[in-house]
Amino acid sequence: MSIPAFGLGTFRLKGLQVIDSVRMGLELGYRHIDTAQIYENEADVGQAIAESDVPRDELFVTTKVWTANLGRDRLIPSLEESLAKLRLEQVDLTLIHWPSPGDELDVADYLGSLLEARRQGLTRSIGVSNFTIAHLQRAIDTVGADEIATNQVEIHPFLQNHALVDFARRHGIHLTAYMPLAYGKVLHDPLLQGIAARHDATPAQVALAWLLQQGFAVIPSSTRRENLASNLEAQRLRLSDEDMAAIAGLDRNERIANPGFAPNWD
């Protein structure tokens, strides 16, 4: 199943903040909404979706199963709880949010449970997030590359994740870039500012266009209507080969999402 290339992230947004962000996003044309159990905003996202005029079949909704729910007795019930909060009978995509900390649980066990959730109709497709090459290989061995709709990982101009990207592409696995704006750091980069000025664009639009042109899906977030609208315009921006190469030179392995339970990154 095709994942919309441009989505709306909801990380760190709760309550009225996320309700307003999703509501404005839907009004502006966003149709891919990304949430997660650990964000504690699924009910708010569900409210915003329910109160919108957008038909369900025009929406693509992603949620992610938290590490505490990876056990065989918890994964499917937790997804059913997510559906109740989202007020949906089915999500379009369910991801394993992080590999089991310390690999306490085997990838085969929880991906097997997620595949069963899909068979039960709780989700249209399945995928993973924050998976390293080793975890991704284990996932491929378990369910096959064709079953993995995406690996959602941190990718932006300052963290380009080359080894993982190359591995995923060799196996035909799609990648979704989260934190595509490096939590706002792209806005202040002189090179991105210069490219933006030449294209009558913003640095955020340049960073997003750079990711889109490489085939990644992006899920930026914002609570401001003007930024939500501006980000969408990145889809119309076409960067030159020279622009793309210059931005590629910004890589400095600067990882933002790196909690204590994170796997050993590639």
DSSP of 165-229:
HHHHHHTT--EEEESTTGGGGGGG-HHHHHHHHHTT--HHHHHHHHHHTTT-EE----S-HHHHH
Superfamily of domain 8-184+210-234 in CATH is NADP-dependent oxidoreductase domain (3.20.20.100)
The answer to whether the beta carbons of residues 55 and 101 sit under 8 Å apart is: no
The answer to whether the beta carbons of residues 5 and 212 sit under 8 Å apart is: yes
- Per the annotation, does 97 bind a ligand? yes
Alpha-carbon distance values, 159 to 125, 156, 175, 185, 266 (Å): 27, 5, 14, 12, 12
**Calpha distance 110→113 (Å, rounded):** 5
| Residue 144 pLDDT | 97
* pLDDT (mean) for 228-250: 98
Report domain extents, the chain. 8-184+210-234
Residue 215 tokens read as: 């085939």
Alpha-carbon distance values, 163 to 126, 132, 143, 170, 177 (Å): 23, 9, 22, 11, 15
- pLDDT at residue 1 greater than cutoff 70: no
Percent of the chain with pLDDT over 70: 100
* pLDDT (mean) for 32-53: 98
* pLDDT (mean) for 86-98: 98
- In the set 30, 39, 110, 178, the catalytic residue is 39
Which residues make Cβ contacts (< 8 Å) with residue 241, sequence separation at least 6?
none
**Cα dihedral sign, 67-73-76-78:** negative
* pLDDT (mean) for 42-67: 98
| Residue 24 pLDDT | 98
| Residue 116 pLDDT | 97
- pLDDT at residue 127 greater than cutoff 80: yes
**Calpha distance 125→119 (Å, rounded):** 10
Q: Which of 101, 104, 123 is nearest to 114 (CA)?
A: 123
State the helix-helix crossing angle for 241-248 and 203-212, rounded to 10 degrees: 100
Percent of the chain with pLDDT over 90: 99
pLDDT digits (tens, 9 = 90+) for 129-147: 999 999 999 999 999 999 9
What is the phi/psi pair of residue 245, to 5°? -65, -40
- A 10 A CB-CB count for 261 gives 12
- pLDDT at residue 214 greater than cutoff 90: yes
The answer to whether the beta carbons of residues 186 and 156 sit under 8 Å apart is: yes
- Whether 39 is catalytic is yes
Residue 23 tokens read as: 């509501």
Q: Which segments within the chain are labelled E, that is strand?
A: 8-9, 32-34, 60-65, 91-96, 123-129, 148-154, 175-178, 217-218
CA 211 from centre of chain: 13
| Residue 91 pLDDT | 98
The answer to whether the beta carbons of residues 256 and 183 sit under 8 Å apart is: yes
